[in-house]
C-alpha cells in the first residue's frame, strides 16, 4: 500500500523497526514490508531514521508540491552500481535507434487517444462525424511523417513533436465538448484553468509522473536523460518521454469516472489560482492508486496499468543494453 501524509503537522518516525505515524489524537504503526511508497502532500515532520528505513527497504519516499508534482525523492546508495547501463543510455540518446523508439512512443500515445475518442463516440453518437474526420486527418499525418521520417535526419524531433501536437489539438477538442459541467472545456490548460477537468487531469498526470519516475529509477536508467523532450535543468525528461503513451489511459480513467458520476467530489470547486482542495486531491490520489491495479488492454496485452508501465521501461532498458 501507499502511505499518503496529507495532513499538516503529522509526525513520521520509527518505532520497533516500523514506521510510526502520529497525529494530534491518534497514532499508527506500519511494517515496511506492507508499504510500496510514501507520499507527502502536506507539511509534516519527518525523522532521519524514517528516511533510512524507507531507503533500506527500497521504498520510494516522495514529497510533492501543492499541484501534486514530486519535488523531493530519496534514492538508495545502491544506484551507484548501474554506471555501465547509464553510459549506454547516454550513447543511446544520439543513436539512430533512439529516433525510431521516440516515434514509436508518440504513435502509441496517438493510438491510445484514438481508442479513447472511439470509446467516447460510442457513448456519445453525436460525436461520430467529428471523430471520423479527426481520425482521418491524424492517420494521414502519421502516414506522411512516416514516409518522410529518417533516423539520421537531425530534425526528426521536430517531426515527432509536430505529430504529437497535431493529434492532441483534435483529441482534446472532442474530449472536452461532451463532458458535463463543470468539467466542460475547449482546450487544454495547464495553469489557472476555469473548468474542473484540467486541474484534475493535471494532478493525475503529476501522479503518473511520480509513478513513472519510480519505475524508471528501479530499472537503473537515468530519469533526466530524455530522448524526445529536450534536456531541462531539474526536469526528468525521460519520465516525460515514457509517460506519453500512458496519458490517454489516465484520460479515459477520469472521463469514465465523470460520465459514471463517480467523480462528484471533484465538483466542489477549485480554489484560487486553479488549485484543488485537500478533499479533491485526496480523492484523486486514491483514484490513481486504485487505477494502477486495474487490468487494461495496452499494445495488445492485458494486465495491470502498473505492470504495463514496468514492461515499457524494461523494454527500453533491454534495447539500450543490446546496443
**Domain of 254, in residue numbers:** 83-322
Residues 33 and 98 in one domain: no
Can you give the length of the chain in residues? 323
State pLDDT tens for residues 158-212. Answer: 888 899 999 999 999 899 988 998 999 988 888 878 889 999 999 999 999 988 9
Is 253 within the bounds of a domain? Answer: yes
Cα distances from 45 to residues 4, 6, 22, 151, in angstroms, run 14, 12, 10, 50
Cα distances from 172 to residues 29, 188, 246, 251, in angstroms, run 44, 7, 15, 10
Averaged pLDDT of the chain: 87
The total of other beta-carbon atoms located within 10 Å of residue 57's CB is 13
Residues 36 and 148 in one domain: no
Residues 192 and 308 in one domain: yes
Residues 49 and 130 in one domain: no
- Where does the chain have alpha helices with state H? 48-56, 83-92, 96-123, 128-148, 156-177, 197-219, 237-243, 247-259, 278-292, 305-322
pTM: 0.80
Q: Cα–Cα distance between 180 and 257 in angstroms, integer?
A: 12
Q: Cα–Cα distance between 189 and 108 in angstroms, integer?
A: 23
Mean pLDDT of 131-140: 92
Is 295 within the bounds of a domain? Answer: yes
- Give how many domains the chain has, as a whole number: 2
Instruction: Give strand pairing partners of 295.
Output: 304
Q: Cα–Cα distance between 249 and 255 in angstroms, integer?
A: 10
Residues 140 and 7 in one domain: no
Is 176 within the bounds of a domain? Answer: yes
Q: Cα–Cα distance between 5 and 21 in angstroms, integer?
A: 9
Query: What is the structure's pLDDT at 61?
Result: 83
Amino acid at each position: 500500500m501507499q502511505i499518503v501524509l496529507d495532513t499538516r503537522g503529522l509526525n513520521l518516525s520509527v518505532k520497533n523497526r516500523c514506521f510510526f505515524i502520529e497525529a494530534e489524537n491518534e497514532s499508527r504503526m506500519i511494517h515496511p514490508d506492507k508499504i510500496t511508497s510514501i507520499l507527502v502532500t502536506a507539511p509534516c515532520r519527518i525523522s532521519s531514521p524514517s528516511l533510512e528505513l524507507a531507503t533500506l527497504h527500497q521504498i520510494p519516499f516522495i514529497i510533492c508540491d501543492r499541484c501534486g508534482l514530486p519535488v523531493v525523492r530519496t534514492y538508495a546508495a545502491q544506484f551507484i552500481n548501474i554506471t555501465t547501463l547509464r553510459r549506454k543510455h547516454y550513447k543511446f540518446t544520439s543513436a539512430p535507434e533512439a529516433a525510431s523508439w521516440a516515434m514509436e512512443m508518440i504513435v502509441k500515445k496517438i493510438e491510445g487517444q484514438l481508442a479513447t475518442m472511439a470509446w467516447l463516440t460510442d457513448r456519445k453518437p453525436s460525436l461520430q462525424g467529428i471523430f471520423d474526420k479527426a481520425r482521418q486527418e491524424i492517420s494521414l499525418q502519421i502516414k506522411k511523417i512516416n514516409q518522410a521520417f529518417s533516423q539520421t535526419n537531425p530534425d526528426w524531433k521536430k517531426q515527432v513533436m509536430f505529430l504529437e501536437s497535431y493529434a492532441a489539438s483534435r483529441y482534446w477538442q472532442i474530449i472536452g465538448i461532451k463532458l458535463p459541467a463543470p468539467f466542460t472545456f475547449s482546450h487544454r490548460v495547464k495553469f489557472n484553468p476555469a473548468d474542473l477537468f484540467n486541474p484534475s487531469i493535471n494532478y493525475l498526470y503529476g501522479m503518473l509522473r511520480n509513478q513513472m519516475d519510480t519505475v524508471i529509477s528501479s530499472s537503473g536508467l537515468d530519469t533526466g536523460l530524455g530522448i524526445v523532450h529536450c534536456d531541462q535543468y531539474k526536469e526528468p525528461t525521460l519520465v516525460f518521454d515514457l509517460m506519453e503513451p500512458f496519458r490517454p489511459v489516465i484520460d479515459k480513467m477520469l472521463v469514465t469516472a465523470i460520465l459514471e458520476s463517480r467523480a462528484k467530489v471533484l465538483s466542489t470547486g477549485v480554489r484560487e489560482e486553479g488549485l484543488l482542495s485537500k478533499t479533491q486531491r485526496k480523492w484523486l490520489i486514491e483514484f490513481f492508486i486504485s487505477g494502477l491495479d486495474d487490468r487494461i488492454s495496452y499494445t495488445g496485452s492485458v494486465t495491470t496499468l502498473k505492470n504495463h508501465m514496468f514492461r515499457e521501461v524494461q523494454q527500453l532498458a533491454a534495447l539500450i543494453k543490446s546496443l
